[in-house]
Amino acid sequence: MRHRLLAILIGSLLLPSPSWALGGATFAPFLSAPAVDVGERFTVEVLLDPHGEKIDVARANVAFPPDLLRVETVTLGTLLPRQSPGNSFDNAAGTISEGGFLLGETTSAKGTFATITFLALKQGSATVSIASSSKLITDGEEKGTGSYGSAVVDIQKEDDAIGPSISLISLSHPSQGAWYKSNTFVADWTKPDMGTVTGWLTAFDQSLTTDPSEKLSIKYLTKTVEDISDGTWYFHLKGVLAGGTYTETVHERVQVDQTPPNLIAPSTPRIRYLEGESALLTFGATDEASGIDHYEVSTNDGVYETASSPLVLKDLRVGDAFVQVKAVDRAGNATFGKAGFRVYPKDTVLSGEDSAARDKENAEIASLADPTSPKLSTESSTNSLLIISGLAVLAGAGILAVLNRKIRKHISKK
């Protein structure tokens, strides 16, 4: 009896029924400075005010002019510190999508949801706006107002006092927006065209604005940093010029993630199906460093294909079915999880409990196919999935054994 109740509990948690009434929670952008110079860095804080709502999942979709601004970093605050799948920014399109969530709890506190660091590229008036498509969710229910505003920064003429710039590249970590498994960073650079460089100053840390002070001989035009731990780091470099002046400091972002995503426990609402039916597979995982990039699914040792949760497995065939889900983070690390169920001939008579579970599952599958039906977002469902993933793993073997014994007894009575 205990195993049966546990199976029902797991199924109900995997398939929550969301509603989508708007609430009063808001996002708002806050500029660190209303005016900056060309070449200057500044931050925009995405402020979250729940206005009495309890929030467990949020996503801020931000737009900016890519000809005027370039994103250098996006970091989550402490309100919803776990990274959701799909976080990214695109400096060509001028878009940012940053999601975060809490595991097993909610927050009603005001504060910084995320901080965006921009570099001002050229003179002009740049608007940073938070799109109405942004989400503020509690247990699958939208709590945001849908109107989140914008902020304008005035970019002024470049300061003539800025010295010659250094051209720096990294073959080990070529893109500042990407994540890499390699924990050895190699930087190469060229001398600036103007001035006489007498030496170099470098630093490597997790601050974007460090003024480097470690001396490096002028004969070197490369620097290697080894054994870097997971996270976002910065290599800082500037040249010392004759006469006691300096070049502009270069700040190169380095993102390292060598750790696979956390536990993933894919699951179906039932472990017994009939030939020709469809099964609803749900899954979700988190990753502490780079965040989840995508999922891939393989059935019965077949080819892995990119998929998202929930996934409908159609036209089931008789026999044991084994599904493996791969969670891949933005650095390419992967974690695997497995789920299994059995498919019986279509004339098999299952229990009343199975029939009720089948009706509920089929209704959920039908709602996914109906374009007019509200859909449960991947992010909101991931939160519920992760809460019970450990429970599912611990209990799954026992539930499977008990239910298979029941079906064998039932079939033997036919």
Please give the pLDDT value at position 293.
87
Please give the pLDDT value at position 247.
87
Residue type, 71: V
What's the whole-number mean pLDDT along residues 248-254?
89
- pTM score over 0.85: no
Token code pair at residue 212? 């480097």
Which burial class, exposed, middle or buried, applies to 183 when counting CB atoms under 10 A from its CB (0-12, 13-18, 19+)?
middle
What's the whole-number mean pLDDT along residues 325-344?
95
Residue 280 pLDDT grade (very low, low, confident, very high; cuts 50, 70, 90): very high
Residue 244 pLDDT grade (very low, low, confident, very high; cuts 50, 70, 90): confident
Comparison of pLDDT for 224 and 159, the residue scoring more: 224
What's the whole-number mean pLDDT along residues 266-292?
92
Instruction: Reply yes or no on whether the pLDDT at 389 is more than 70.
Output: no
Comparison of pLDDT for 296 and 208, the residue scoring more: 296
175 contacts: CB under 8 Å, gap ≥ 6: none
Tell me if the bond preceding 310 is cis, omega within 30° of 0.
yes
What domains does the chain contain, in order, with CATH numbers? 26-156 (2.60.40.680), 167-247 (2.60.40.10), 260-412 (2.60.40.10)
Residue type, 119: L
What's the whole-number mean pLDDT along residues 330-343?
95
Token code pair at residue 374? 């509200």
Highest mean pLDDT out of 16-25, 102-111, 183-192, 368-377: 183-192
DSSP per-residue string spanning 170-206: -SSS--TTS-BS---EEEEEE--SSS-EEEEEEEEES
Comparison of pLDDT for 241 and 390, the residue scoring more: 241
Instruction: Reply yes or no on whether the pLDDT at 72 is more than 70.
Output: yes
Instruction: Reply yes or no on whether the pLDDT at 409 is more than 60.
Output: no
Please give the pLDDT value at position 87.
84
Please give the pLDDT value at position 396.
40
